[in-house]
Structure 1
Amino acid sequence: MNTKADNPVHHETVPLKSKSKRKRNLIAVTLLFAAAAAALAAAYFLVWQHEEETEDAYVSGHLVQITPQVAGTVQKVSVDDTDVVKKGDVLAVLDDSDFLLAYERAKNELIQAIRQNKQQKAVNTQAKAQVSVRKADLERAAADLKRREALAAADAVSGEELAHARSAVVQAQAALKAVEAESAASQAVLGNNIPLRQQPAVLNAVTRLKDAWLNLQRTQIRSPMAGQVAKRNVQVGQKLAAGTPLMAVVPLDNLWVDANFKESQLRKMKIGQPVELTADLYGSSVVYHGRISGLSAGTGSAFSLLPAQNATGNWIKVVQRVPVRIMLDEQELKAHPLRVGLSMTAKVDVAAAGEHQTATGKTVQPQAETVDWSEIDALIEQLFAEYAP
């Protein structure tokens, strides 16, 4: 009976099969590496060379500083850090006692100005009437003098009567000049046919009333826009000067990303190119889409007066990073809110069309509402209707 050890064919078959298997494995591994290299090369030439990516990116936003426009003592604080406020919400209230008194005083001054104008008109009317009376007196005295001069030619009147007649004319002329001066002075106060509401005294009183009303409104410190409260630094009872920082409001619907790209990555980067972003807060499952809105005028070290140096004082070359501003899609921002300072990853499609790197453009800036004067204007109209019908 033959055994495996006695079979020479078996000894030759085993090494051949093992070599063949190793050869097939080597070929498979080689093909696998070749396919991976080809895939990487294809990815680079088709995709990666047209993208610039950085993880050095952070969410930024406007930090709207809230300050009082008038000095006063804090009577109430209505919000705290992290509170969400709407545009026009009252954030803090100052003691308005002094401002209320000033407002009432200004209102009374306007009423007094209207009344004084009416009185001045009456004085002016009276002065004009006195002018008419004095003119009539002068005409009578002149007529009487004329008659007496005619009679004096026939010796019908004495010289004394003629002298009295002439003296009466002189007195009438002087009286007329006096009332004409009073009438001119009275007319000068009122102006020449200037309406009541355009009288200087009335205009000054209206201005003072509006100023007092505005200061009274400013005792209620309102939010100029919707957002979230941050950095509250005010307490009840605190004495404030105008311009003292109280808190900040961050409008979370107007955020952008500042992505710091290496200088070598900016070669093909242009304004308007699309950007895909992910936030560490949500992970890669949430992708934001934005566009480049501008490139910074310089790096952080560009405005330094000293060059980069090592410990020995020798100049060294440092790879600089330039901030690139990326505006986010508003709807995506509403669906997945962000916070200022969060880390982001930004990937720019540099193959897409865009404007020049120095293209002019402005980002949307927050803007507070102007003063609504309708309330005080209505009150002024009411005062004129009541005291100057």
Structure 2
Amino acid sequence: MEQINSNKKHSNRRKYFSLLAVVLFIAFSGAYAYWSMELEDMISTDDAYVTGNADPISAQVSGSVTVVNHKDTNYVRQGDILVSLDKTDATIALNKAKNNLANIVRQTNKLYLQDKQYSAEVASARIQYQQSLEDYNRRVPLAKQGVISKETLEHTKDTLISSKAALNAAIQAYKANKALVMNTPLNRQPQVVEAADATKEAWLALKRTDIRSPVTGYIAQRSVQVGETVSPGQSLMAVVPARQMWVNANFKETQLTDVRIGQSVNIISDLYGENVVFHGRVTGINMGTGNAFSLLPAQNATGNWIKIVQRVPVEVSLDPKELME
């Protein structure tokens, strides 16, 4: 009886292990088939490089360098001061421009005050002329009647002529001053505008003695040194934007059958190793290889043509958030 029970137990174990082996075989076969299908759809290349737009930093005004705040590989934020120039000359020029503007405003205001003064003088001269004219017209009949002498009439006539000349002179002076003012507000007077523009330029020149970073990124190609005299347009360094970097990956043309713009990409760098995976997307596929865009592209007219698989550049954008980590 014991022998029969022992045989049943061995038979059940064999069935269990056989079933387990079949299940494991099916599982491994399914996993192998899945990964085989996935890997068939994936392409890879080692011919890839990270690149970005390096924003050149140059001087906009001449001056002596007094401070250089950063060196290569330093991280900077937009608006940070990279280089400072001596401000002495720029400060003096700005003060001169301010003083000149103040003087011109003062002189122009004087013209406005003179305009009122000349207008009052014209009004006074016109009253004097009207009184002289009335006095002369009143005395003419009296002279004819012999009530007054001819000398008195002549004196009255001289006074009329004199008042007329004074009125004309006042009018001319008023018009001359009016031509300078031109019925234009103070802030639109040509002399004031010119002086104000000169002041703005002097202020801008002073502000440009502090050379700031246009973007957030990393310093590269620094060449400027403290004590150096720089001129407008001279290159000082470059800033590589931290959020504007991409990968140029070169694939064989036979690999690009199913590559489309917008597809996701996994990137592993030699610097960080396989444990760090960056993520990106295909943003562009070059329309030709390097030979097609060369100055003198190759032309095969001999008939001895050999097919050579070309590599086509593919642009892959990087996730800005991952770049900042």
User: Is TM > 0.5 for Structure 1 vs Structure 2?
Assistant: yes
Where does 1:244-259 land on structure 2 (aligned, <5 Å)? Answer: 244-259=234-249
Write the mapping of 1:1-389 to structure 2, written as runs, cut at 5 A: 46-192=37-183, 194-308=184-298, 317-335=307-325
Using the alignment, how far apart are the partners of 1:298 and 1:240 within structure 2?
Answer: 42
Residues 308, 316 of structure 1: 8 Å contact kept: no
Question: Per-residue CA shift, 1:216-247, capped at 9, x if unaligned?
Answer: 01111111222221111112222211111111
Determine the C-alpha separation between the residues in 1 that align with 2:163 and 2:254. 101
Structure 1 position 42, deviation (Å): 6.5
Aligned-partner Cα distance in 2 for 1:111–1:270:
65
Give the conservation status (yes or no) of the 8 Å contact 1:309–1:315.
no
| Deviation (angstroms), 1:215 | 0.3
Matched to 1:296, the amino acid is N
> When the two structures are superposed, what TM-score results if normalisation uses the length of structure 1?
0.70
After superposition, what is the alpha-carbon deviation per residue over 1:238-268, rounded to whole angstroms, capped at 9, x for unaligned? 2211111111112223321111222333333
- Partners of 1:317 and 1:179 lie apart in 2 by 98
- Structure 1: which amino acid aligns with 2:166? A
Q: Structure 1: state its 5+ residue gaps.
A: 1-31, 336-389
Query: Shift of the alpha carbon at 1:143?
Result: 0.8
Contact residue 307 and residue 315 of structure 1 kept, 8 A: no
- Percent identity between the two aligned chains: 44
Q: CA deviation at 1:313?
A: 12
Counterpart contact for 2:45–2:249, Cα < 8 Å: yes
Residues 265/149 of structure 1: CA separation in 2 closer, same or farther (3 Å cut): farther
Aligned alpha-carbon RMSD (Å): 2.7
Q: 1:182 to 1:266 in 2, by over 3 A?
A: farther
Change (3 A) 1:317 1:152: farther
Secondary structure at the aligned position of 1:276 is classed as strand
Alignment check: 8 A CA contact 1:309 1:316 kept? no
Alpha-carbon offset, residue 302 of structure 1: 1.9
Instruction: Tell me how far apart the structure 2 counterparts of residues 318 and 163 of structure 1 sit (CA, whole Å).
Output: 119
Q: What is the CA–CA distance in structure 1 between the aligned matches of 2:146 and 2:308, rounded to whole Å? A: 125
CA shift at 1:324, angstroms? 1.7
Segments of 5+ residues of structure 2 without an aligned counterpart are 1-24
Alignment TM-score, normalising by the size of structure 2: 0.82
| Partner-residue secondary structure (3-state), 1:91 | strand
Counterparts in 2 of 1:292 and 1:157: CA distance versus 1, 3 Å: same
Q: Is the alpha carbon distance of 1:315 and 1:127 closer, same or farther for their aligned partners in structure 2, counting shifts above 3 Å? A: farther
Q: Give a deviation string over 1:334-389, Cα, whole Å, max 9, x none.
A: 33xxxxxxxxxxxxxxxxxxxxxxxxxxxxxxxxxxxxxxxxxxxxxxxxxxxxxx
The 3-state SS of whatever aligns with 2:271 is: coil
The C-alpha deviation readout for 1:94-133, integer Å capped at 9, x for no partner, is 1222111110001101211221122112221211111111
The 2-side partners of 1:298 and 1:166 are apart by 101
Name the SS for the 1:54 alignment partner.
Answer: coil
**Matched-pair contact (CA < 8 Å) for 1:78–1:92:** yes
1:287 deviates by 1.9
Distance 1:158 1:256, change over 3 A: same
The answer to which of 165-174 and 128-137 deviates more is 165-174
Aligned partner of 1:361 in structure 2 is: none
What is the rounded CA distance, in whole Å, between the counterparts of 2:96 and 2:299 in structure 1?
Answer: 67
The aligned counterpart of 2:18 is: none
Q: Partners of 2:156 and 2:305 in 1: how far apart?
A: 112
SS of 2:196's equivalent in the other structure is: helix
1:273 to 1:164, Cα distance in 2 relative to 1, 3 A: same
Distance in 2, matches of 1:313 and 1:230, equals 49
Size of the alignment, in residue pairs?
298
